[in-house]
Structure 1
Amino acid sequence: MNEDTEEHQQVMSEVHLGCPPGISGPHISRFTICLPSGVESSRFNGLFQDEKSSTDQDISFDEDGDLVLPRRRQISRRCFTMKIQHNITSSIPSVGLQVWKAELVLSDFVLHKMCTSMEFHGIVSLELGAGTGLAGMLLAHAARTVFLTDHSDKILENCLKNVQLNSGVNHQNIICVRQLDWTHPWPPKASSDRASQERFSWSSFELEEVQKASLLLAADVIYSDDLTDALFGILDRIMSQGSEKVLYLALEKRYNFSLDDLDVVANGYSKFRSYLKDDSECEGLEPGSVSCFTGRCINVAEIPQYVGGYDRGKDVELWEIRYNKDTALIPC
């Protein structure tokens, strides 16, 4: 598929199937975030608010077989709402203007970590291919600094708009929306003079902060081999420097018929898996011989659903990826 075809072909996320048809420009959706049953989080009392809603009891029959009319009952949940501006359809290069299932699964994971542990409290984090920025904005309620990065100015403008739309949802820590081209050298060029910087460019201080980052996030960035190569190229450069980092990457396996394989395959997934080794494979490599990423697939079924209104399906995966510095090439 050439660049002109990609620019004109329109695609739509399943998340947007219920949105009003015929809207070509940005649309604002409200995502309700609720604490699942059994999860308590007193640390976020200012975020989750008590909310009452009505629900119908299941239909039942008495011993004579007569219908028992259900009664509506009130249930209490602790919830809050995120406003997300997004496009309902987009070209393939602009898919970051939409919300995708993998982003919602990653958001569930981030919320669960925040609500059940202190692991993300006070950290510095970098999200790659942040798109609409939902997962990173949620993380900002616990992290000290969150960098939301993407490549296109149009996607970055939309991401910044979402940060502004949710500025009143009680996150007081720093969110920075910054441009990051995976095919360019790391670190990007920076200026110490903030006044002379372009809107999404980096300051020297911010790049030093990324060196301290312990957490990387990414969602729905696996769908072409070239993009996967670029992703692991930038991961090699970022994760080999500064403090030890872990990447949590959510992806959705999308199946298409391949003429090369004469079979239905998930584009980009095999390429993604080829970059990941297990610990024993990394231990057998000579120091400095090759970059080595280890990966562990997390059982998504064990992560409660905090974000309402979407069906995870069976093809979303969440990976914990680490970088073995002992076997990695020294970056140029």
Structure 2
Amino acid sequence: MEEGSVETTRHLNHTDSEEVMSEVHLGCPPGFSGPHISYFTFSIPPVEATKQMISFDEDGDLILPRRNKLSTQSYTVTIQHSITSTIPCVGLQVWRAELVLSDFLLHKMFTSSELDGIVSLELGAGTGLVGVLLARVAKTVFITDHGNEILDNCAKNVELNSELINHRAIVYVRELDWMNPWPPRITMEESSFCKTKRYSWTLSEVEIAHEASLLVAADVIYSDGLTDAFFSTLERLMSLGSEKVLYLALEKRYNFSLDDLDVVANGYLHFRSYLQLEGDCEDLECGSMPRFVGKCIDITEIPQYVKEYDRGNDVEIWEIKYSKGKF
């Protein structure tokens, strides 16, 4: 991306009409309005010499490969986004946790086949960057968010990066409002009404989503009410169909609290109240809350494949599972 980063983040005390800017967008044209295009490059590590193909000559002697300088392949993801937005439209911007989660998933793609051929669902997708990257290896990707403006932008980013997407992958951009119950209202498969509801779900799509094994979300923790709605939706999604794991990336955001007379990350603390740490579940009885089990991942062990951003010190990635019965 052309931009650097700055410690300017959205805070809980912003009003819905106030314009906010992601820390990623420093360097964008000041006062620029309308969609902006940024280019993110990510590098695929070269194959190690020990993994090179072993071959033999006509006499059966081992052919030793020349020690050529290993080159690193790079790809560019094109993302349309806004430079500033109001709080309800923050999904139009690129946020740091979205880039950290991209690094995490790229690392899985490059080091294992764990994500090959999966069905995945991105919650609060924003620009859709994470979903686009997943579509390089996944069988089906649902990119979901709320509001036509954000969903139109997601669809545009899928279009802009069509050459990067696995040609066998199916990518759906769909409306998912956490304030409404899951599953969402269904449209008829062949109905002409469906054509006017571009981001509506069909019954077959809901059934496919229930079989998703991977859920992902980035930078969706910044409002207590939204966090409550998120976990309510998450419980419904994870209690139906196949077993699922959620990888959630977030950034701790600190505010001065008059109640505490200190700078605290209340939004983060509210998020943590939903989780039981992995390994501390033995004493919980069936029906106890919370039913979500989380493990914080050490992101210092994750290489930075997306080059054009500064990770900072307050981004975390959580692996979250849901207990349908007794832990």
TM-score past 0.5 threshold: yes
Report the alpha carbon displacement of residue 76 of structure 1 after superposing the two structures with TM: 4.3
Give the Cα–Cα distance (whole angstroms) in 1 for the partners of residues 141 and 278 of structure 2: 29
Confirm whether residue 94 of structure 1 aligns to residue 89 of structure 2: yes
Cα shift readout 1:212-245 (whole Å, capped 9, x = no counterpart):
1000000000111111111111111110111000
Give the Cα–Cα distance (whole angstroms) in 2 for the partners of residues 311 and 18 of structure 1: 14
Asked whether the 8 Å contact 2:46–2:70 carries over to 1, the reply is: no
Give the Cα–Cα distance (whole angstroms) in 2 for the partners of residues 37 and 315 of structure 1: 30
Report the alpha carbon displacement of residue 37 of structure 1 after superposing the two structures with TM: 6.7
Query: Is the alpha carbon distance of 1:254 and 1:238 closer, same or farther for their aligned partners in structure 2, counting shifts above 3 Å?
Result: same
Give the Cα–Cα distance (whole angstroms) in 2 for the partners of residues 117 and 230 of structure 1: 33
Asked whether the 8 Å contact 1:224–1:267 carries over to 2, the reply is: no
Report the alpha carbon displacement of residue 169 of structure 1 after superposing the two structures with TM: 2.2
The TM-score normalised by the length of structure 1 is: 0.84
Report the alpha carbon displacement of residue 185 of structure 1 after superposing the two structures with TM: 1.1
Cα shift readout 1:238-284 (whole Å, capped 9, x = no counterpart):
10111000000000111111112111011410001111103455443
Give the Cα–Cα distance (whole angstroms) in 1 for the partners of residues 35 and 48 of structure 2: 34
Give the Cα–Cα distance (whole angstroms) in 2 for the partners of residues 294 and 155 of structure 1: 30
Q: How does 1:223-302 map to 2 (within 5 A)?
A: 223-279=222-278, 281-290=280-289, 292-302=291-301
Asked whether the 8 Å contact 1:236–1:291 carries over to 2, the reply is: no
Q: How does 1:88-127 map to 2 (within 5 A)?
A: 88-127=83-122
Confirm whether residue 132 of structure 1 aligns to residue 132 of structure 2: no
| Percent identical | 62
Confirm whether residue 162 of structure 1 aligns to residue 157 of structure 2: yes
Report the alpha carbon displacement of residue 203 of structure 1 after superposing the two structures with TM: 0.6
Look up the match of 1:52.
none
Look up the match of 1:192.
188
1:23 aligned to which of 9, 28, 32: 32
- For 1:251, give the aligned amino acid: L
Give the Cα–Cα distance (whole angstroms) in 1 for the partners of residues 48 and 219 of structure 2: 27
SS of the aligned residue for 1:199 comes to: coil
Q: How does 1:10-89 map to 2 (within 5 A)?
A: 10-36=19-45, 76-89=71-84
SS of the aligned residue for 2:42 comes to: strand
Aligned residues: 295
SS of the aligned residue for 1:141 comes to: coil
Confirm whether residue 322 of structure 1 aligns to residue 321 of structure 2: yes
SS of the aligned residue for 2:215 comes to: strand
SS of the aligned residue for 1:6 comes to: coil
Give the Cα–Cα distance (whole angstroms) in 2 for the partners of residues 200 and 260 of structure 1: 42
Cα shift readout 1:32-64 (whole Å, capped 9, x = no counterpart):
111247779x9xxxxxxxxxxxxxxxxxxxxxx
Report the alpha carbon displacement of residue 7 of structure 1 after superposing the two structures with TM: 3.0
Asked whether the 8 Å contact 1:223–1:267 carries over to 2, the reply is: no
Deviation larger for 10-19 or 271-280: 271-280
Asked whether the 8 Å contact 1:292–1:327 carries over to 2, the reply is: no
- For 1:112, give the aligned amino acid: H
Look up the match of 1:151.
146
Deviation larger for 165-174 or 257-266: 165-174
Query: Is the alpha carbon distance of 1:20 and 1:184 closer, same or farther for their aligned partners in structure 2, counting shifts above 3 Å?
Result: same
Asked whether the 8 Å contact 1:106–1:318 carries over to 2, the reply is: yes
Segments of 5+ residues of structure 1 without an aligned counterpart are 43-73
Asked whether the 8 Å contact 2:46–2:73 carries over to 1, the reply is: no
SS of the aligned residue for 1:120 comes to: coil
Report the alpha carbon displacement of residue 296 of structure 1 after superposing the two structures with TM: 0.4
Give the Cα–Cα distance (whole angstroms) in 1 for the partners of residues 301 and 278 of structure 2: 24
Q: How does 1:198-237 map to 2 (within 5 A)?
A: 198-237=197-236
Give the Cα–Cα distance (whole angstroms) in 2 for the partners of residues 211 and 91 of structure 1: 32
Give the Cα–Cα distance (whole angstroms) in 1 for the partners of residues 253 and 313 of structure 2: 11
Query: Is the alpha carbon distance of 1:24 and 1:161 closer, same or farther for their aligned partners in structure 2, counting shifts above 3 Å?
Result: same
Give the Cα–Cα distance (whole angstroms) in 2 for the partners of residues 327 and 161 of structure 1: 43
Give the Cα–Cα distance (whole angstroms) in 1 for the partners of residues 137 and 29 of structure 2: 34
Confirm whether residue 182 of structure 1 aligns to residue 178 of structure 2: yes
- For 1:307, give the aligned amino acid: V
- For 2:136, give the aligned amino acid: H
SS of the aligned residue for 2:72 comes to: strand
Segments of 5+ residues of structure 2 without an aligned counterpart are 1-11, 52-68
- Tell me the C-alpha RMSD between the 2 structures: 2.3
SS of the aligned residue for 1:83 comes to: strand
Query: Is the alpha carbon distance of 1:76 and 1:22 closer, same or farther for their aligned partners in structure 2, counting shifts above 3 Å?
Result: farther
Give the Cα–Cα distance (whole angstroms) in 1 for the partners of residues 204 and 111 of structure 2: 31
- For 1:193, give the aligned amino acid: E
SS of the aligned residue for 1:183 comes to: coil
2:136 aligned to which of 136, 141, 144: 141
